[in-house]
Amino acid sequence: MSDLIEQIIKPRERDLGDGFVVRRILPFHNRKMVGPFIFFDHFGPVDYAPGHGFDVRPHPHIGLSTVTFLYDGAIRHKDTLGNDLVIRPGAVNWMTAGRGICHSERTPDEERANGQTMHGIQTWVALPKEHAETAPDFVHHPAETLPEFDLGGAHARVLAGTAFGHQSPVEFPWEIWYVGADADNGARFTIGADEAEERALYVALGEAHIEDQVIEAGQMAILKPGTDVSVAVPEGSRFMLAGGAPMDGPRLIDWNLVATDKARIEQAKQDWRESAENGWQNTVFTLPPGEDEYIPLPGD
């Protein structure tokens, strides 16, 4: 393996039904985070015939921000703050859970009627300790609001933070570095040591080359800190760059919940259970408007 690469993480694949395959990269058993990124999933591509779609029923989050980025398809997001909108390719949905939020993700009516191809990336970023119990929030960033630039021949977009001299409008209270890029005609570029202290390259389609090392589709290369890394990608490749400053301590993940200690996670579990038992009235968690389903705690 190249001396410029600290580790290569291979995906753990899971078929959720109807051909909907999810490749989980983070957390990995010996690499829990890269910068604030604590969860990295690559889903699809999957084709839904007319009349079919996916439905992720309402579920809770604490202690993190969820970040959805699509290559193909559309997702309707609804949450307990009253947000109800559809995300499409190139845009970014940034939901901050803080002390607690509930949301659902479903195929929009039009796409369910006509069929669609679904393909994208969902990541979670851990909130810094001093922001872990902040009020929940949600911001939608249309594709045209995100800075685009040429990255050695690849069409790149800064999804969060500052990268290669371009700054995203996405606000996050920790140093973050997140880029999505398509190399229709191939590309060659260098990731400078000063871009971020912790850096990773994920190949969603095609492959990438770092010296003699090939990073295949579905794999993430953790780059060696403090080094300039030259990358070549063949035509037709899609890749993500993710990282930032090391987080302010380890995090625990249990189901959809992130915290610095187990007691906080157990409290959130109990809050979810009691909210359901009390019909979502005057409870810690409530359902998004118009929703009457929910995902029970695992094991309940």
Q: Residue 195 falls within a domain, yes or no?
A: yes
Task: Please check whether residue 295 lies inside any domain of the structure.
Answer: no
Residue 156 lies in a domain: yes
Residue 37 lies in a domain: yes
> Domain of 118: which CATH number?
2.60.120.10
Domain that holds residue 228: 5-244
Of 147, 152, 179, 121, give the one whose Cα is nearest residue 235: 152
Task: Read off the pLDDT of residues 105-135 as tens digits, 9 standing for 90 and up.
Answer: 999 999 999 999 999 999 999 999 999 999 9
Within 13 Å and on the Cβ side, how many CA atoms surround 280?
Answer: 16
* pLDDT of 19: 64
Kindly report, residue by residue over 146-167, the tens digit of the pLDDT: 999 999 999 999 999 999 999 9
- Residue from 138, 183, 175, 118 nearest 157 by CA: 183
The predicted pLDDT at position 14 comes to: 81
Q: Does 271 fall in a domain?
A: no
If one counts the domains in the chain, the total is 1
* 34 dihedral zone (left: phi>0; alpha: psi -120 to 50; beta): beta
- Indicate whether 299 pLDDT > 90: no
* Residue 63 resides in a domain: yes
For residue 293, being part of any structural domain is answered with no
Q: What share of the chain is helix, strand, coil (3-state, %, to 5)?
A: 10, 50, 40
Give Cα 43 to chain centroid, integer Å. Answer: 10
Task: Average the pLDDT over 43-72 and give the result.
Answer: 94
Residue 298 falls within a domain, yes or no?
Answer: no
Residue listed under structure tokens 């007691």: 263
Q: What is the pLDDT of residues 207-239, one digit of tens each?
A: 999 999 999 999 999 999 999 999 999 999 999
